Amino acid sequence: MFLHLGENIVVPIKNIIGIFDVETSMYGSDTTQFLRMAEEDGFVQRITKDKPKSFIIAEVDKKSKIYLSPISSSTLTKRSESLYYES
């Protein structure tokens, strides 16, 4: 099963490591630093130019990748849970 992250981006659910809320995660300086370093190293993919509501860490081709999604973390989590329990 695949999880739709926004626009034309889908990721296999089994490859998702975590789904995080941007607003609450940014309170920690460690998270901010982690995302900044990941972006500098080319691991971050913006799905749209809209302000991201969540970020998703996934393993793609045996490499970690971070997607910045315009869809809220709660919506993505609900989608992933419903897909997981359907299979």
SS (H, E, C) 29-58: HHHHHHHHHHHHCCCEEECCCCCCCEEEEE
For position 1, what pLDDT does the model report? 86
Beta carbons within 8 Å of 87's beta carbon, 6+ residues apart: 1
Q: What pLDDT is attached to residue 56?
A: 97
The tens place of each residue's pLDDT in the chain, 87 residues long, gives: 899 999 999 999 999 999 999 999 878 789 889 999 999 999 999 999 999 999 999 998 899 999 999 999 999 999 888 765 655
Quote the pLDDT of residue 84. 58
pLDDT at site 26: 77
Give the residue extent of every domain in the chain.
2-85
